[in-house]
Chains A and B, each alone.
Chain A
Amino acid sequence: MMEPGLYHILFISTALFFIGVYGFFTRRNLVTMLMSIELVLNSVNLNFIAFNKYLWPNRLDGVFFTIFIIAIAAAEAATAIAIIINLYRSHRSIDVENAEEMKY
């Protein structure tokens, strides 16, 4: 059994990142898109943690960054859900294509 190294974790985080990006571009449901964004953010978190652990194990900067990002992600999710709810109230739908008329 091989001890998982930095490269494995980076691979997972990269995979998560692109799954998130792909989901963001292809889904039409706003909630799913929000979830995709969370994936992207968490892949970044993984990156920070991994680099912190393997490159500077005696420091905690990466961990702190991760905590920041989690907090910001929470705030972002709250805002985004508020927007989605408002959109639903006015359009009776949370499909992103129905929000196109808001370009002006």
Chain B
Amino acid sequence: MPNLTYIALIPLLPLAGFLLLGIFGRNYFKTTSGIIGTTLLLIATVLAIYTAYGYFFEYGKVAGVYQKLVPLHYTWLEFSKGVSIDMGIILDPISVMMLVVVTFVSLMVHIYSLVYMKGEERFPTYYAFLGLFTFSMLGLVVSSNIFQMYIFWELVGVSSFLLIGYYYDRPSAVAACKKAFIVTRFADAGFLIGILILSFYSGTLDFNTLIQKLTSPDSVELKNAVAASFLGVSALTWGLVLVFIGGAGKSAMFPLHIWLPDAMEGPTPVSALIHAATMVVAGVFLVARLFPVFAISAPEALNLVGYVGAISALIAAVIACTQTDIKRVLAYSTMSQIGFMMFALGVSGHGGENGLGYTASMFHLFTHAMFKALLFLGAGSVIHFIHSNEMKDMGGLRKYLPITHITFLIACLAIAGVPPFAGFFSKEEILLAAYQHNSIIYYVALFTSGLTAFYMFRLYFSIFWNKKADIHGEHHGEGGFALLMPLILLAVGAAAAGFIPFGNFVSSDGTKLESAFHLQFSILPVAIGLIGIFTAMWLYKKKNDKPDKIAASLSGLYKAAYRKFYIDELYTFITKKILFNLIGRPAAWFDKNIVDGLVNATGKATQTISEKIKGMQSGKVQQYAIYFLIGVIALAVLFIYVWK
């Protein structure tokens, strides 16, 4: 194995960018900060691709199995023997794949932002935050220790918070960033408790040791973790479910998804990077990282993952059909696609042919990162051009934005699962895995993929066709090379990534997974996808009143979906009416009257006593001398008569 310590540079370069631009950017790099950040990330991307090449083709494979390598390991904080927070780097197929995805998409976003964010007041700060995010995300994917992952997990949360609230003078952005932070933080509490439970039973925080201890059937730790139970469910399952809650919060799974649509208040390239391609798949990555434990030792927790994923996919797709803000449509579509990845993990087994769902999930993560980042950047170009997020302001833009139009179309075809684009391959694998293991989830997924095709093409036709463009006078065109180059590169990825034989590289147990291609199986999903596309075409290609009529005929359902099934209202009700009134107010009363009362009483007592004895300090020297004399006499009496 060659010396791999250089891998530490991949996360550390963006960190250097963050520190440099964060501290000196405002004063010294007002206009050049974009170039600095992009250059650092370009180096990191090259290193990541070099690492991936080396890992997959040179040293990663031993006897046909991809190994988990730990090229860098440093014990940071040791609690007791074996239980320590370490900083380390783990190389296995998924972390290497994530390194490439994160650096590549981040690089595209960096380049794109050079134009998109040009002239912003806080341009250097923006690049500093992007660097912080990229550092944290890269640190997260290479974490060799579950606590290290938790630290980076919180760091991505913070950088997401900072970037959503980038336009801090808009109240809606401020509200959105607070919401995102609080909701994910709430979920992270589950993650933390999950970590504590898992590490308590396994006696370690190290991923490799933890997985090994909690999966080998004759280990004492596993037996203890399964034997201990709470409310009829084993401690191990509780631990994994809690860890999954953390993942669900970050990945915007139902019912913790409410922050994601609001997070679209951030700058569009940020949405492409954080809320589409990288951070939101951290939950999927977390489940994948602990997948052996889920699959071998706690199948019921894995079932939960599957059902939560399927429900999220369906609900998000239904809501996406009714939204009119293009970024929100994309946000719900992201949530729906992450739902696909989650239930693909949920229906998967561990090892050999059973691990199809795992491979499919990772494959979909990979392709989704490409086409969803592309969709967001395309939407960014449209917004940049038209200065609005609303569909009703758009239409007929294909003449004005030709390259955006083509790349957006490719991305839509990819997400709709039309062969031969990337999404087709990954989605077929997911559906096949679902078909083999759980028929309920399979039918839900089939219906959802039809909906996906429908709402994506609703979006596409509404932006680029529908009515005649309403552009008067001057317009600044499509934007420069820096704006188009990422679109084109990502479009190439979205078109071609599907041909990567993914099963050769990523599988649940590291061995090669033959992904057989079943032609007759693919007919049904593709047909459903095409039906979705043609329905969208029929309804939205020309401006007409059919969509409104349909919406009116389905008024109850449409309204519910338009209002996002009232989940936000439900949360508001629970927090405002129940939590604030029943818990918040009594707690505030207790704090105000009892806690503050005690503190005030102490202060008052001190004040009263001092007031009383203040007269002793009169400034009369002779009076002090008398006190002194009395003290000496008292001591003399004590020494002579009492303590002889």
Contact = CB atoms under 8 A, between A and B. Distances in A.
Contacts of A25: 622, 625-626
Interface string B613-624: 000011111100
Nearest to B617: A103
A97 interface: yes
Contact of B619 (A21, A24, A99): A99
Nearest to A28: B622
Task: Report the interface size class on chain A.
Answer: 10 to 19
Interface in A37-61: none
B550 interface: no
A102 B617 CA distance: 11
B485 interface: no
Interface string B600-633: 0000000000000000011111100110010000
A24 B618 contact: no
Contacts of B621: 96, 99
A21 B626 CA distance: 10
Contacts of B622: 24-25, 33, 96
B633 to A, nearest CB: 11
A99 B620 CA distance: 8
Interface string A89-104: 0000000110111110
Contacts of A101: 619
Interface in A56-104: 96-97, 99-103
Nearest to A101: B619
A101 B621 CA distance: 11
A30 to B, nearest CB: 9
Contacts of A103: 617-619
Contact of A100 (B619, B626, B629): B619
Contacts of B620: 96-97, 100
Nearest to B622: A25
Interface in B292-340: none
A29 B619 CA distance: 16
A54 to B, nearest CB: 22
Contacts of B618: 100, 103
A79 B491 CA distance: 91
A3 B619 CA distance: 48
B632 to A, nearest CB: 10
B623 to A, nearest CB: 9
B627 to A, nearest CB: 12
Nearest to A21: B629
Contacts of B619: 99-103
Nearest to A96: B621
Contacts of A99: 619, 621
Given A21-B629, A24-B625, A103-B619, 6 more contacts: A24-B622, A25-B626, A96-B622, A99-B619, A99-B621, A102-B619
17 contacts: A21-B629, A24-B622, A24-B625, A25-B622, A25-B625, A25-B626, A33-B622, A96-B620, A96-B622, A97-B620, A99-B619, A100-B619, A100-B620, A101-B619, A102-B619, A103-B617, A103-B618
Interface of A: 21, 24-25, 33, 96-97, 99-103
Shortest Cβ-Cβ A-B pairs, 7 listed: A103-B619, A100-B619, A25-B622, A96-B621, A100-B620, A103-B617, A102-B619
